[in-house]
Amino acid sequence: MEAPHNPATEEAEPVARTSTPTIVRITVTSPEQMQELGRRLAKLLRAGDLVMLTGELGAGKTTLTRGLGEGLDVRGAVTSPTFVIARVHPSLGDGPPLVHVDAYRLGGGLDEMEDLDLDVSLPESVIVVEWGEGKVEGLSEDRLQVLIHRATGDTTDEVREVTLTGYGERWTAADLATLAA
């Protein structure tokens, strides 16, 4: 006898979601190396990618983004803008533009974030967000989280531990491990 047909359970069937994020840890020992990591990471990025940069003031988020900008070959210097919250760096070639967001000065207000229309630009851009925790996760189910922190016991103040965590199917396929090589 056939099992009773139950649409409710069928709809509840899990849509194969990746439960384990891909995690890669890298030690960086100078600002130049951080920028170089950005250049290499840029090679893995494509339109539609959301990268969240996390780490305390002066951790090196903007330095990494500078490398991303070089690797993506975009126009304009990547800086820490005082008044600008988001800056679009168009590609100098045929790659995606880099949208660099520094949400530090944005209050918790999601409205301000929505005003940036990041959801509109995401499909054709690479969006990199500093201080975006709790503000931009809703933009995409797939995101690359880059956590930068100063190594404990570092006497030169130039050693950083970088942890890249790829959430979602996009990042299971991307070979983040090549960055650690």
Ligand X SMILES: Nc1ncnc2c1ncn2[C@@H]1O[C@H](COP(=O)(O)OP(=O)(O)OP(=O)(O)O)[C@@H](O)[C@H]1O
Distance of CA 44 to the CA centre of its chain: 12
Nearest residue to ligand X, by Cβ distance, number only: 60
Segment interacting with ligand X, rule: CB under 6 A, options 26-34, 93-101, 137-145, 167-175: 26-34
**Alpha helices (runs of H) in the chain, residue ranges in sequence order:** 7-12, 31-42, 61-72, 110-115, 118-121, 169-173, 177-180
For the CB of residue 55, give the shortest distance to ligand X in the complex, in Å. Answer: 5
DSSP-derived 3-state class of residue 92:
coil
Name which position in 62, 121, 125, 165 contacts Mg ion (CB under 5 A): 62
Site for ligand X contains 162 (CB under 6 A): no
Segment interacting with ligand X, rule: CB under 6 A, options 13-21, 25-33, 82-90, 113-121: 25-33
Site for Mg ion contains 61 (CB under 5 A): yes
Pair 27, 151: CB distance under 8 Å:
yes
Alpha-carbon torsion angle 110, 58, 83, 139, nearest 10: -30
Q: What's the CA gap between 108 and 104, in Å, rounded?
A: 10
- Number of chain residues interacting with ligand X (CB under 6 A): 16
Which of positions 74-103 make contact with ligand X (CB under 6 A)? Answer: 80
Contacts with ligand X by CB under 6 A lie at 28, 30-31, 34, 55, 57-63, 80, 130, 158, 160
